[in-house]
Amino acid sequence: MAQPLSSPRAGHALPASRQSAEQGTLFGTLVHLWPYIWPSDRFDLKMRVVWSFVLLLIAKLATLSVPFTFKWATDALTGKGTAPVFASDWLVWLIASPLIMTASYGGVRILMAVLTQWRDGIFARVAMHAVRKLAYITFVHMHELSLRFHLERKTGGLTRVLERGRNGIETIVRMIILQLIPTIVEVSLLMVVLLWQFDWRYVLATLCMVVVYMYYTYKATEWRISIRRKMNDSDTDANTKAIDSLLNYETVKYFGAEAREAARYDRSMERYEEASVNTYTSLALLNAGQAVIFTLGLTATMLMCAYGVRNGRNTVGDFVMINSMMIQLYQPLNFMGMVYREIKQAIIDIENMFSVLARPPEIKDDPGAKPLLVTAGAVRFEDVRFAYEPERLILKGLSFEVPAGKTVAIVGPSGAGKSTISRLLFRLYDVSGGRILIDGQDIRDVTQTSLRAQIGMVPQDTVLFNDTIRYNIRYGRWDATDAEVEQAAQLAQIDTLIRMAPNGYETQVGERGLKLSGGEKQRVAIARTVLKAPPILVLDEATSALDSHTEHEIQGALDRVSRNRTSLVIAHRLSTIVAADEIIVLDGGRIVERGTHVALLAKGGLYASMWNRQREAEAARERLAQIDDENDSPDRTPPPIDDAIATAAE
């Protein structure tokens, strides 16, 4: 059974991961990965690591015996009999038998393969647990980062970073443990055998070949890194453009821009094609150079052994043995080149993941933060100032209070800072100055989880998960029963529409909820907030996507939901907030008017001007609709469009 992942807040590795990966070095990456390969809370995985190393050692000893069995079989066939002599005569005969030695050669190779695959199978759970844990921590950390970070990033590029980083982690863990360490062990043991069976000249020739081989691999791989980085950048750019275009499918259709989008995507793929060709070409050069260097080393050692056979110092079995050992050395050496390439490329792939982990959350709980205790639900803004960018102040000393159980509406022209207020209340950003209090508690002194649990939001732009309607409503309170979900839908005036669909509450809403109309999405958002049943409500243009008839229906539901709850309403349609206990008018980040609907109209200021303009616009729309109805009559000639607009304006 899979073990649950602990929260990174309680873990030990997240702070280390948030540091840079030692500028992308192998050592720095290993430092960050080790807590996941050797997890302190998983004894079973530690035992898998230990057992993997035991099997590794046994497999390498079996590997070393292969050239010896090859040598003894060859010498037995030539009558030299160089196999070791044991006390028992029958055992001496057994080892000296060409057929037995040949069979032993095959048996040892089978044993070597079985042990290696057994080790890989045992270590697989360790490697994939490390991948899962790091991917989980990165995913959680992305959610911890501020709204500012996500507004600056492209979603497609960010998901690509997570995907490539996850693959890079798997590559590094498997390559280091299953390839690099076994290769180092095997090369070291082979050098010992060469010195024991032959002499220092063989060791020197082999070491020279290994050094030149690794130096060439290092230089060639470093050259290829910049090519690989360009390919990754091109791949990310193409993927981002594709996702961006598909998310805006309807907009592309509205403007007939299919050809333009295809050309834009193809330009990115052209850059990716060029970078990929360069990547494969450079790989061919690297492999060719490695083959030449190794072949020269192999030829040198075999020439020395051939000379020894001619002079009687070595047997034909020695000649076969040195060839077998060098060929056997080629595989780990080839792995060394491949391992270095893959690790360097994997480090490039996870550089962006580590950079995301290295970015500290802009909004975080103080060490002594306590849960928010809501007794009444009073919200107070005291001299709040805020700027998205230092040079452009959005809110300029805002002070007001939403008394417990009352409704306060915020209105004003576009850019006045209305939606910023809701973001600050949810602590998606921290105030630049002043403070926000809930029941006397500064929201910066309480935990974010407890703060957001006490506030319900119906946003202006409702985005749904690509799942069922039931899933999206239940998102408000995950432990709600089906009956509670359906009751919330009834209060939001959407239950009837849902039941008319063939699949009812199991209807899929599509990517970002595109299968639903704007009004339907808004009602789902209202339903999940109703289900959450928080003491504080924030309605950010909650009925902006609804027609007038539906607006009145939904407004009644919202009125019932907000009854006896502290409600902050950010409104565009002023008709929805006429019953608010207080209306605050913002302009240029400051409060310019405040009072009830009747008092503000009597004042004849900005609010009255906005109210009159909206009423005139609504009257004009109604007049145009009436003209359209009259024009539908078969015995009436439609007037020119200019005349219709002029009539409606009157």
Please tell me the number of Cα atoms within 13 Å of 64 on its side-chain side.
Answer: 19
The first and second tokens of residue 439, run together, are 């029941």
Asked if residue 13 has pLDDT above 50, the reply is no
Mean pLDDT of 28-41: 77
Strand partners, 468: 508
Asked if residue 571 has pLDDT above 80, the reply is yes
Asked if residue 217 has pLDDT above 60, the reply is yes
Asked if residue 121 has pLDDT above 90, the reply is no
Asked if residue 91 has pLDDT above 60, the reply is no
pLDDT tens-digit readout, 522-568: 888 888 888 888 889 888 876 665 666 666 766 776 777 777 789 89
Please tell me the number of Cα atoms within 13 Å of 289 on its side-chain side.
Answer: 18
pLDDT tens-digit readout, 287-297: 888 888 988 98
pLDDT tens-digit readout, 582-592: 999 998 888 99
572 confidence band (pLDDT: 50, 70, 90): confident
Query: Mean pLDDT over all residues of the chain?
Result: 78
Mean pLDDT of 367-386: 90
Quote the radius of gyration of the chain (alpha carbons, Å): 36
Cα 488 to Cα 527: distance, rounded to the nearest angstrom: 5
Mean pLDDT of 20-43: 69
Q: Higher confidence at residue 92 or residue 143? A: 143
Share above pLDDT 90 across residues of the chain, in percent, rounded to a whole number:
7
Query: Which letter does DSSP use for residue 508 in this model?
Result: B
The first and second tokens of residue 75, run together, are 């010498």
Mean pLDDT of 456-463: 79
Share above pLDDT 70 across residues of the chain, in percent, rounded to a whole number:
81
The pLDDT of residue 19: 41
Edge-to-edge strands, sheet with 407-411? 455-458, 536-540, 566-570, 407-411, 582-587, 590-595
Mean pLDDT of 190-210: 83
Task: Decide if 177 contacts 123 (C-beta within 8 A).
Answer: yes
- Residue 12 main-chain phi, psi, to 5 deg: -115, -15
441 confidence band (pLDDT: 50, 70, 90): very high
Cα 618 to Cα 342: distance, rounded to the nearest angstrom: 65
Strand partners, 593: 585
Asked if residue 84 has pLDDT above 60, the reply is no
Mean pLDDT of 72-95: 55
Question: Crossing angle for the helix pair 258-311 and 316-358, nearest 10 degrees?
Answer: 150
Q: Higher confidence at residue 151 or residue 644? A: 151
The pLDDT of residue 299: 87
3-state helix, strand, coil in the chain (%, to 5): 65, 10, 25
Q: Higher confidence at residue 67 or residue 639? A: 67
Mean pLDDT of 135-147: 77
The pLDDT of residue 9: 40
Q: What is the DSSP secondary-structure string of 25-94?
A: -HHHHHHHHHHHHS-TT-HHHHHHHHHHHHHHHHHHHHHHHHHHHHHHHHHHHHT---SPP-SSHHHHHH
The pLDDT of residue 549: 66
7 confidence band (pLDDT: 50, 70, 90): very low
Tokens 């709040």, residue located: 384
Q: Higher confidence at residue 523 or residue 380? A: 380
Strand partners, 512: none
Asked if residue 349 has pLDDT above 80, the reply is no
Asked if residue 476 has pLDDT above 80, the reply is yes
Asked if residue 642 has pLDDT above 50, the reply is no
Q: Higher confidence at residue 47 or residue 78? A: 47
Edge-to-edge strands, sheet with 441-442? 392-402, 379-389, 433-438, 441-442
The pLDDT of residue 126: 83
pLDDT tens-digit readout, 159-168: 777 777 778 8
Cα 640 to Cα 631: distance, rounded to the nearest angstrom: 11
Element (H, E) at 602: helix 597-603
The pLDDT of residue 399: 92
Mean pLDDT of 498-512: 83
The pLDDT of residue 498: 85
Asked if residue 380 has pLDDT above 90, the reply is yes
80 confidence band (pLDDT: 50, 70, 90): low
Asked if residue 369 has pLDDT above 80, the reply is yes
What separation, in Å, do the N-terminal and C-terminal C-alpha atoms of the chain show?
A: 74
Q: Who contacts 147 (Cβ-Cβ below 8 Å, separation ≥6)? A: 423, 428, 429
pTM: 0.62
pLDDT tens-digit readout, 224-245: 777 877 887 888 888 888 888 8
Asked if residue 87 has pLDDT above 60, the reply is no
Q: Is 372 exposed, middle or buried (0-12, 13-18, 19+ CB in 10 A)?
A: buried
Q: Closest by alpha carbon to 556, among 546, 128, 270?
A: 546
Cα 502 to Cα 624: distance, rounded to the nearest angstrom: 37
SS3 456: strand
Mean pLDDT of 594-618: 87
The first and second tokens of residue 606, run together, are 């900005």
Cα 594 to Cα 600: distance, rounded to the nearest angstrom: 7
> Cα 387–392–398 angle (5° rounding)?
50
